[in-house]
């Protein structure tokens, strides 16, 4: 899918197309579908930084988990819409990061979200510090 125009050139942008499976009986994207789009945006943001989550889990024993999410649904997306999922780091931390994410259609914001992601040790499933190299890739201290 070609890139979609966005209103934030500095943020990482990932294109998403709305499929029938994403919509509800009213023909608009079901509210939980936006959470999947946001997850894809975060995953592709990490991939763009050179971070493969499977490798991180297998080699470093680290995974990411959503700690909190605040979302505002502003306007509906519909079947076959070409969307852009935008992601930017707003607060880097030692064991968690806060991201601003939003979904646009042609530069118009449809959804806004603030997501806190925690880094967890796969053995204990407790928060642990992000490796320094990973924090640096994300733009943190």
Catalytic residues: 24
* DSSP states of 84-122: EEEEEEEE--SSEEEEEEEEEETTEEEEEEEEEEEEEET
Alpha carbons 49 and 40: distance in angstroms, whole number: 14
Q: Looking at the DSSP assignment, which residues form a beta bridge with residue 109?
A: 104
Round to whole Å and give the CA distance between 11 and 86: 6
Rounded to 5 degrees, φ, ψ at 110 are: -105, -35
Q: Alpha-carbon distance 33 to 25, whole Å?
A: 13
């Amino acid at each position: 899918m070609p890139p979609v125009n966005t209103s934030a050139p500095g943020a990482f942008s990932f294109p998403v197309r709305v499929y029938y499976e994403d919509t509800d009986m009213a023909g608009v994207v079901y509210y939980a579908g936006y959470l999947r789009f946001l997850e894809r945006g975060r995953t592709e943001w990490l991939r763009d930084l050179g971070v493969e989550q499977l490798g991180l889990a297998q080699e470093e024993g680290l995974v990411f988990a959503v700690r909190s999410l605040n979302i505002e649904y502003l306007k509906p997306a519909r079947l076959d819409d070409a969307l852009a999922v935008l992601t930017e780091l707003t607060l880097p931390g030692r064991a968690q990061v806060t991201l601003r994410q939003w979904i646009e259609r042609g530069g118009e914001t449809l959804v806004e979200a603030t997501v806190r992601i925690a880094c967890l040790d796969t053995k204990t499933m407790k928060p642990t510090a992000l490796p320094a190299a990973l924090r640096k890739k994300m733009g943190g201290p």
